A = this chain, B = another copy of it.
Amino acid sequence: MADSPLKLTILGLGTVASGVVRILTADNEPVSRRAGRGFDIRHVAVRDASKPRDVSLPDGVLTEDWKAAVSDPEVDVVLELMGGTTTAREAVLAAIAAGKHVITANKALLAEHGDEVFSAAREQGVCVAFEAAIAGGIPIVATVGRLLTGNRIQSIAAILNGTSNFILSEMAGKHRTYGDVLAEAQALGYAEADPAMDVDGTDAAQKLVLLTQLALGKRVDLSQFVRQGIDKLELSDMLYAEELGYRIKLLAVTRVVDGQLEMHVQPTLLRADRAIAQTDGALNIVELEGDAVGPLVLSGAGAGKMPTASAVVADLVDVAIGRAQQTFPLLDLWQQDSELTVMPPEKIELRYYLRFKVADQPHVIADIADILGRQKISLASIIQHEAPEIDATDSGDAIVPLVIMTHRTTEARLRAATDELERLPSVTARIMRMPVAD
C-alpha cells in the first residue's frame, strides 16, 4: 500500500497549478524517489474545460465538476489552487468531509476561515498543509511549525508581499512614481487588476496572522493591529529615506515585548545596510528570532509559478510519506490560544518618520515643534531643503516638504499630535508617517 501512487485532485489550473502539474508530470524521478511513491493526477477541476491551455493532461482528467472530483473515493489528496474564499471554502470543506487530505496555497481562505477549516480537518483526522500560502517558495511554514520546536519565537519581521516590494524597489531604485510603477506591474501581470489587497497591506497582514499562529500559538484578528499600505507613498519619501541612509519596505512585524504581542504591517524605514532593506523585487524575506537559535533569516522567491509549486510539492511529499499527517495535529492552529495578549496599537512605541507639506511661512517649524513637544514627542532630526514645490497655497505661499524624524513615542501620542498638526493652516496636506526600525 505504501508504494502505490498517491491519487490527486487538483482544483484550478492557473499559474501555480500548472507549475505543480509540470513538476509531477515532467521527469519526476527525484520527487517520487524522495516521496517513496509516485503521484497520479486523477482530476483537475476548472471552470471552463474547453479553454486552451499549455498544460497537457491525459484524457478525462480535466473536469468542470469539482464536486465529483473532490469526493471521488479513489482520491487521497485534494490540492486547492483555485484561490478565492467562496467556492474554495466550500470545496476544501467538502474534501475534508470526504476524508481527503488538503493542500492549499490560499492564505486568504485560511486567514478568514482557518478556524472552520482546521477544526473540520482535526475532526475528520485529515491534515491541511499550506506551505505555499506564506512567502511562496520560502519554506517558512515548516521552519516555524516544525524546525524551531526547541525555541520560543520572540520576533518575526518580514517582507511578505511581492507586488508591494516590486513597486517599492522600482520607486527607490529608479526614482519612479507609485502610479507609474503600479501601471507597469499590472501590464506585466505582476499585480492583479485590482491590487488593493496587495498595496493596502491586507495580503501581508493575512500572512502575518498565519505565521503568528504557527510561531506563538496566538490567534489574532486583522482588526487588532495597525495595517498601513504603500499606496500613500510619494517618490519624495523614497528620496528622503535614501538621504537619511534608509530604505522603505512594507514590513510585517510580530514581536513579544514585555509579555505582550506587538504587531503591525506598515511601510517602514530600514537601515540601508541591512539584508532586509536590500531585499528587492518580488523577493520575500523573513527574519526570525528564537530564544535558543537567535536570529535566523530566510529569503527567496515570495511568489511565482515554479517557486510556489515547489512549496506545494513539498507538502505533497510530506503527505505521501505520512509526515504531514503526524505534524498537523500538533501545530498550534486555532486549536488553543496563547496567554499572550495583543498590545493595544496606541501603546506601541516606535520611532517615526513624518513628512509634511507646509506653506513656506515664518514660524511653521516652531508651530509644529510646539505641538510635538506638548505630546512629549522629541525630535531626532529635521530636513527641509530649499527647493520649493511648484504648488502654492491660496495665499500664494510656496509649499515645501518638511521631514521630521522622532525619537521613540507611542502611537497614541503620535495620533493626537497628527490630528492637531493637520489642523494647522500651514500644514497643507495629510502627514505621511512611517515607523523607523531599530
Contact = CB atoms under 8 A, between A and B. Distances in A.
A135 to B, nearest CB: 11
A296 B279 CA distance: 12
B290 A295 contact: no
Given A309-B292, A330-B34, A330-B321, A300 B297 contact: yes
A31 B149 CA distance: 6
B149 A34 contact: yes
B290 A294 contact: no
Contacts of A147: 131, 139, 142, 314
Contacts of A222: none
Copies of this polypeptide in the complex: 2
B327 A307 contact: no
Interface in A331-365: 332
A313 interface: yes
A310 B139 contact: no
Nearest to A137: B293
Contact of A137 (B33, B131, B296, B313): B296
A301 B309 contact: no
A313 B146 CA distance: 11
A398 interface: no
Contact of A310 (B33, B137, B151, B327): B151
Counting chain B CB atoms within 10 Å of each CB, which of A30, A137, A290, A292 scores highest? A292
A179 interface: no
B317 A327 contact: no
Contacts of A124: none
Interface residues of A, number: 56
Given A142-B142, A306-B292, A313 B149 contact: yes
Interface string A1-41: 00000000000000000010001000000110111100000
A293 B321 contact: no
A85 interface: no
B150 A310 contact: yes
Interface string A268-304: 0000010100100000000000111111111111001
A329 B273 CA distance: 43
16 contacts: A23-B150, A137-B296, A139-B147, A146-B318, A149-B313, A150-B312, A273-B278, A291-B306, A292-B307, A292-B309, A292-B310, A293-B300, A296-B298, A296-B299, A296-B300, A297-B298
